[in-house]
Structure 1
Amino acid sequence: MARAFLVPASLRYLDQVARSGSIQKAAKELNVAASAIDRQILLLEQELEVELFERVPRGMRLTAAGDALVTLARRWRADERRVAADIKQLQGLDQGHVRLVAMDSHANGLLPRFIERLAVEQPRISLEVEIASPDDALSALLAGGADIAAIFNLTPRRDVHVHWSSELPFGCVVSPAHPLAKGETVSLQEVVAYPIALQSKALMIRRYLDARYGWLFADPQKALVTNSLQLVKQLARGGRYVAFTSELDAAPELAAGTLRFLPVRDKGAEPQTVSVAIDARKPLSRLGRIVADLLTDEIRASLRDARAAGVAAMPANEEIRQGSEEAT
């Protein structure tokens, strides 16, 4: 059966041209004549009395008005997919598409296991996964580009509903052979005696360190900066470097015993958080709830495995809050 589209063709064409960068590329992606796409965009511009694209030598570039309309189109398309999934559920089918945006550390940790479990338990649910920074993940969620987001250090917002969240002790990872590994905790004064592998300022943990403990990096010769979490962990595993990161970031290595997590005991060291979040302006579909619950289970399992390895003691006062919504 051919798919019925609820979003007007003109908005679908507009969205694809914005993604592809040209009408010709969009035509190939949609298998539609380029002239049909061009005509629909021109009609939109005439109706709105504004240019939606700048015609540049290398293709099409959105104007401010075009960007606003594309944002609307993507929200409508997200609503369209959710309604289609809801209709299938009314027919007794757990079938549909869910879009998840997550962090880079999840891709090398819990995501493969989560995806495998979802495929086995819910084979009719198709999943799209985008890897992004915390800032970009939040933007994707609110712009309708994702149904669910797994985000570190999410700040409270009215337009974001936290389905589940857990605190993660602030600390660092070291090789089991590193001198600091002999202790159960570590102070920042102890850390600065050793070379530090730092993540880039695109990540919240680095911004937190810069804001609170900028003096840690007074000696640039002792700090290596990279945007690769995998490199940070490899350097820590090598035994020379100390790396500030969370238990969840390093969960596979902690569970395997190739890294040890040491909570920072300094007064005022604030915990990090990991959250599974949705757009508070939209109801979470039944399929979305299934995916969000499975993702939550996998995050909990990853933390459990990491902590069971004896690399970190779970804080007695850790707060875990479970959000709830009415199923649709």
Structure 2
Amino acid sequence: MRHSLVPAGLRYADQVARSGSIQKAARELHVAASAINRQILQLEDELGVPLFERLPRGMRLTPSGDAIITLARRWRQDERQVVAELRRIQGIHQGHVSLVAMDSHATSFLPALVADLNAQHPQISLSIELATPDDAETALLNGRADLGAIFNLAPRRELFALWKSELPLGCVVASGHPLARQQTVSFQEATVHPIALQSRALTIRRYLEAQYSWLFKDSRSYIETNSLQLVKQLALGGRHVVFTSELDVASELASGRLVFVPVRDRGAEPQGISVAVDAARPPGPIVKLVAERLIVALEASLVAARSPAVGGGGGADS
């Protein structure tokens, strides 16, 4: 489709909201700043409300502007789905899908998903945003993403899970760690060792604080970070214990460099991974196709994590 069905004023306003200023939006759209400003002023005049606050260093959405931009993004998402459906009718699998996923997925199943789509459906393009679970849910609800792979998806009628799987809660350690050959472990046993904790932006950390608050009041050594890569490196260093699920460290488990030991404490609830969409917006054929391949990649990653490389170190079955 050569021309967008979404009015230019809405498209320009959306880009200004993303860029933070008319000048930046003009450079990114290759459109004159005066044309963008004129379209936004005309849109504000037609609607009878200001869409932006004009600040000395840029533009900021008003509450009315936020509502309009959310609508514009939904329309653009609908437009992509219509184009994909038209292509499907023509027998062509072509289109674009926006996926939101977790940081840990970048080193587990996402590379396999991209390789699969490139090989089997080269005319499907994919944009991938890495986010926290809370931000991923927001991305689905405001139309910024078509599809999400989300840890511990909160039960809510606005989101529909196409697939979900339980992930046992456990501790992850290096293959040579003293806990690596145990079948299960208690929190008490694990906290004898230095702990690497994820930040409060992740639902698993909030769960641990709610259920096992004593972990954070003890004087034992722990480090807290919002970097999953640092958490994994600390575990790989051989001393630190990480409380997480298998999918956070799937590639390291598959290679045998890290070992997953289930937590046996009473009440230790399993974590979850879901592939979800906006319940109010049924996925089009291209989104469905990508979702199917995403689920295949997820399941394959879990199988590999649960069947570590021979010689990579001991550990428990999970």
Q: If the TM-score is normalised by the length of the shorter chain, which range does it land in?
A: over 0.9
Taking the aligned partners of 2:149 and 2:155, their CA distance within structure 1 comes to 14
Secondary structure, counterpart of 1:181 in structure 2: coil
2:166 paired residue number: 167
Root-mean-square deviation over aligned CA pairs: 1.2
Taking the aligned partners of 2:26 and 2:192, their CA distance within structure 1 comes to 59
Which amino acid letter does the alignment assign opposite residue 260 of structure 1? Answer: V
Consecutive unaligned residues of structure 1, counting only runs of 5 or more, are: 315-328
1:251 paired residue number: 250
Query: Do residues 104 (structure 1) and 108 (structure 2) align?
Result: no
Deviation of residue 219 (structure 1)? 2.8
Which amino acid letter does the alignment assign opposite residue 152 of structure 1? Answer: F
Contact in 2 for aligned 1:254/1:311 (Cα 8 Å): no
Query: Do residues 128 (structure 1) and 123 (structure 2) align?
Result: no
1:25-75 residue CA offsets vs partner (Å, 9 max, x unmatched) = 111211222222111111121122221111111111111111111111111
Structure 1 segment 223-242 matched on structure 2, within 5 A: 223-242=222-241
Deviation of residue 221 (structure 1)? 4.9
Structure 1 segment 159-308 matched on structure 2, within 5 A: 159-308=158-307
Contact in 2 for aligned 1:197/1:241 (Cα 8 Å): yes
Query: Do residues 146 (structure 1) and 145 (structure 2) align?
Result: yes
Deviation of residue 90 (structure 1)? 0.9
Taking the aligned partners of 1:25 and 1:180, their CA distance within structure 2 comes to 53
1:319 paired residue number: none
Which amino acid letter does the alignment assign opposite residue 278 of structure 2? Answer: D
1:284-323 residue CA offsets vs partner (Å, 9 max, x unmatched) = 1111111101110111111101111274434xxxxxxxxx
Consecutive unaligned residues of structure 2, counting only runs of 5 or more, are: 309-313
Percent identity for Structure 1 against Structure 2: 62
Pair 127,260 (structure 1): closer, same or farther in 2 beyond 3 Å: same
Taking the aligned partners of 2:64 and 2:10, their CA distance within structure 1 comes to 13
Query: Do residues 42 (structure 1) and 41 (structure 2) align?
Result: yes
Taking the aligned partners of 2:191 and 2:25, their CA distance within structure 1 comes to 53
Deviation of residue 115 (structure 1)? 0.5
1:234-279 residue CA offsets vs partner (Å, 9 max, x unmatched) = 1111111111111011111111111110110011100000001011
Deviation of residue 88 (structure 1)? 1.0
Aligned length: 313
Contact in 1 for aligned 2:53/2:62 (Cα 8 Å): yes
Contact in 2 for aligned 1:153/1:274 (Cα 8 Å): yes
Pair 108,58 (structure 1): closer, same or farther in 2 beyond 3 Å: same
TM-score for both structures, normalised by structure 2: 0.96
Taking the aligned partners of 1:36 and 1:203, their CA distance within structure 2 comes to 42
TM-score for both structures, normalised by structure 1: 0.93
Taking the aligned partners of 2:49 and 2:31, their CA distance within structure 1 comes to 24
Which amino acid letter does the alignment assign opposite residue 8 of structure 1? Answer: P
Range with greater deviation from structure 2 (174-183 or 295-304): 174-183
Contact in 2 for aligned 1:176/1:259 (Cα 8 Å): yes
